[in-house]
């Protein structure tokens, strides 16, 4: 046998089916229904989205979020490391200088412009790994579809974490007697009276004053007793 014919014969043997036997041949015409029949008794797995929310895993990579410190200052310092780490060139950051009357984050600079282009983002998470202040994290929100490419570019205000109860909206001065190191180490646990007073003076209509004032008042007894214990 030529080499070519030998190879052809080997291929036929490789793809030849095993003989079915008597029962195999008898049930072969209805064997496919077995899968359908057993599926009748399995639990339904259809998700009723959007009427019932889908459940993502806790570490799911969804929409980005720019976080804040407990006193309301922004964590982003505009360093652009996230933008440089991004393999899809989906992030644009432009830093601005913090000024005495306009302090948005601890330290010298803050993220003045922050955009994520969700028509480019592949949700790999490299940007959040690169962020030195944990300003950038990813939420579980995946409902990002839209009709235009322009609407898929999310601006800073869409990405900023909402102000939690007790936070004071930025800009306002840093907590008295602190540096950016104190913020990075998590030593600032809420707004101070001096920060609330500053916002009262410069933005008396600010909606967060009341809640921040309550947070300061609530913390005072604990602070005083800690100081007394130290004496
Ligand atoms: S998740 Fe990945 S692709 Fe998306 S912005 Fe971050 S680094 Fe870029
Ligand atoms: S999110 Fe983080 S890495 Fe990106 S500019 Fe802000 S501080 Fe830098």
Contact residues of ligand 2, CB 6 A cut-off: 76-82, 93, 111, 130-131, 133, 135-136
- Residues 72 and 88: beta-carbon distance below 8 Å: no
Distance separating alpha carbons of residues 60 and 137, to the nearest angstrom: 11
Span from the CA of 48 to the centroid of ligand 2 (angstroms) = 37
Residue 62, exposed/middle/buried by CB under 10 A (0-12, 13-18, 19+)?
A: middle
Span from the CA of 184 to the centroid of ligand 2 (angstroms) = 13
Q: Which two tokens mark 32?
A: 């496919």
Average pLDDT over residues 53-81: 95
pLDDT at 95: 97
pLDDT at 16: 75
Determine which residue's CA is closest to atom 6 belonging to ligand 1: 127
Q: Which ligand 2 atom is nearest residue 78's CA?
A: 5
Across 17-31, 56-70, 151-165, 196-210, least confident range: 17-31
108-128 tens-digit pLDDT: 999 999 999 999 999 999 999
Q: What residue spans of the chain are helical by DSSP H?
A: 3-15, 21-27, 33-39, 81-85, 126-130, 156-159, 180-184, 193-202, 209-230
Share above pLDDT 70 across residues of the chain, in percent, rounded to a whole number = 89
Is residue 2 pLDDT above 70, yes or no?
no
Determine which residue's CA is closest to atom 2 belonging to ligand 2: 131
17-45 tens-digit pLDDT: 777 788 888 888 888 888 888 888 888 88
Q: Which ligand 1 atom is nearest residue 82's CA?
A: 7
pLDDT at 13: 67
Indicate if ligand 1 lies below 6 Å from the C-beta of 125. Answer: yes
Indicate if ligand 1 lies below 6 Å from the C-beta of 154. Answer: no
Distance separating alpha carbons of residues 153 and 147, to the nearest angstrom: 12
Would the pTM of this model clear 0.85, i.e. be above it?
no
pLDDT at 12: 67
Span from the CA of 127 to the centroid of ligand 1 (angstroms) = 5
What is the pLDDT confidence band of residue 10, given thresholds at 50, 70 and 90? low
Is residue 206 pLDDT above 90, yes or no?
yes
Is residue 231 pLDDT above 50, yes or no?
no
Is residue 72 pLDDT above 60, yes or no?
yes
Q: Give the three-class secondary structure for 39.
A: helix
Distance separating alpha carbons of residues 219 and 143, to the nearest angstrom: 38
Indicate if ligand 1 lies below 6 Å from the C-beta of 83. Answer: no
């Amino acid at each position: 046998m030529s080499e070519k014919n030998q190879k052809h014969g080997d291929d036929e043997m490789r793809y030849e089916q095993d003989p079915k036997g008597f029962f195999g041949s008898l049930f072969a015409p209805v064997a496919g229904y077995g899968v359908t029949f057993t599926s009748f008794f399995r639990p339904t797995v259809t998700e009723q989205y959007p009427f019932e929310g889908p459940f993502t895993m806790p570490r799911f990579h969804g929409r980005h979020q720019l976080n804040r410190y407990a006193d309301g200052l922004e964590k982003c310092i505009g360093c652009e490391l996230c933008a440089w780490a991004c393999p899809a060139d989906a992030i644009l950051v432009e830093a601005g200088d913090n000024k005495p009357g306009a302090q948005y984050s601890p330290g010298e600079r803050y993220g003045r412009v922050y955009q994520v282009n969700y028509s480019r983002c592949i949700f790999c998470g490299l940007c959040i790994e690169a962020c030195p202040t944990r300003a950038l994290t990813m939420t579980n929100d995946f409902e990002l579809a839209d009709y235009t490419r322009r609407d898929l570019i999310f601006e800073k205000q869409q990405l900023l974490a909402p102000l939690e109860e007790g936070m004071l909206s930025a800009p306002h001065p840093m907590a008295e007697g602190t540096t950016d190191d104190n913020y990075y180490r998590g030593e600032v646990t809420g707004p101070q009276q001096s920060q609330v007073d500053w916002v009262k003076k410069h933005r008396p209509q600010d909606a967060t004053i009341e809640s921040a004032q309550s947070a300061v008042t609530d913390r005072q007894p604990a602070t005083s007793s800690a100081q007394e214990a130290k004496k």
